[in-house]
Amino acid sequence: MVSALLTGIATVASVSVPAAAAAPAPRTMADVIAATTPADWRPLDPENTLYLQLPQGRVVIELAPAFAPEHVANLKLLVRGKYFDGLAIVRSQDNFVVQWGDPKGKRSLGTARATLPPEFTVKLTPGLPFEPLPDRDGYAPEVGFSQGFPAARDTARGEAWLAHCYAMVGAGRGNESDSGNGAELYVVTGHAPRQLDRNIALVGRVVQGMEWLATQPRGTGPMGFYEAPGQGATIASVRIAADVPAAERTALEVMRTDTERFRQLVEARRNRRDDWYLVPADYIDLCNVPLVGRPRL
């Protein structure tokens, strides 16, 4: 049973170790996390971390400049111009997204741009890290992780893109492909709407505080929009972590996705060996892979 844990992982260091000398393979996600060393974790980059302040607390968002550089740069201009302060959550559609921004579109964008090129995919370059999952995906030729984000790639087309998994954050747009600018953001709160992949720019991922976004009361208007002012929670502020005094930052680190330990974590979830499970799935879809964070000591 224990040796079967590693099925499907292409390169596993312990495979070359004589069986008799090998340490027991980790059985569960908890086992894997317990076995991590500091090298398995990374801090968030303060320059690419947002704090979204809701009545319930601070939501921490990690930005993905490698996948949407112009959107991230524009969003940071908006944040530094205090664009979001005092705006509200405007939409909560069950099993889909929660969205925030300026419902009337009347607030000035300041120095930020009103339109941006559609960064729905990026060019696949040797410099872009990508750790593939062992399993096949229906929506893309290949899926895996890039810099901690769920991602997909198509080597034939030379493209990579982020995937719409739970907690991913994107920049809303209208029908014109260049109409997104970061002033209207959404987060996935239900089953992964992967059909959005390659159709809109994802800019990051909620790392902490997702539960407050996910439980926003559903809007009763079309597409889950709220129908009257005051129905959506007010956003006290959005800040870039680098602009917040160090002592006031959220001390948080996330598990790296480019390590042997992470591959073990994926395998512990592909084939559950917890006592409760009778039939291990021998498969995992991209958006079922847990991305783990913890307080930074």
Chain centroid to CA 235: 20
How far is Cα 266 from Cα 264, in angstroms, rounded to an integer?
Answer: 5
CB of 23 vs its own copies, minimal distance in Å: 25
CB 181 within 8 A of CB 116: yes
CB of 94 vs its own copies, minimal distance in Å: 4
- The CB-side HSE value for 95 (13 A sphere, CA atoms) comes to 1
For 16, 200, 246, 263, the CA distances from 292, given in Å and listed in that order, are: 28, 25, 23, 13
- Candidate ranges 27-35, 58-66, 240-248, 272-280; the one touching its own copies (CB under 8 A): 272-280
Q: Which is nearer to its own copies, 76 or 273 (CB)?
A: 273
138 in contact with its own copies (CB under 8 A): yes
Among 120, 130, 186, 262, binds its own copies (CB under 8 A): 120
- Tallying the residues shown for the chain, one arrives at 297
Strand partners, 168: 205
Instruction: Encode 69-103: b = buried (16+ Cβ within 10 Å), e = exposed.
Output: ebbbebbbbbbeeebbeebbbbbbbeebbbbbbbb
CB of 108 vs its own copies, minimal distance in Å: 26
Report how many helices (DSSP H) and strands (DSSP E) the chain contains, helices first.
4, 16
Q: Which is nearer to its own copies, 170 or 193 (CB)?
A: 193
283 in contact with its own copies (CB under 8 A): yes
229 in contact with its own copies (CB under 8 A): no
- Candidate ranges 39-47, 101-109, 254-262, 283-291; the one touching its own copies (CB under 8 A): 283-291
215 in contact with its own copies (CB under 8 A): yes
135 in contact with its own copies (CB under 8 A): yes
Residues found near its own copies in the complex (CB under 8 A): 94-95, 118, 120, 135-139, 165-167, 174-175, 177, 190-195, 197-199, 210-211, 214-218, 269, 272, 275-281, 283-285, 287-288
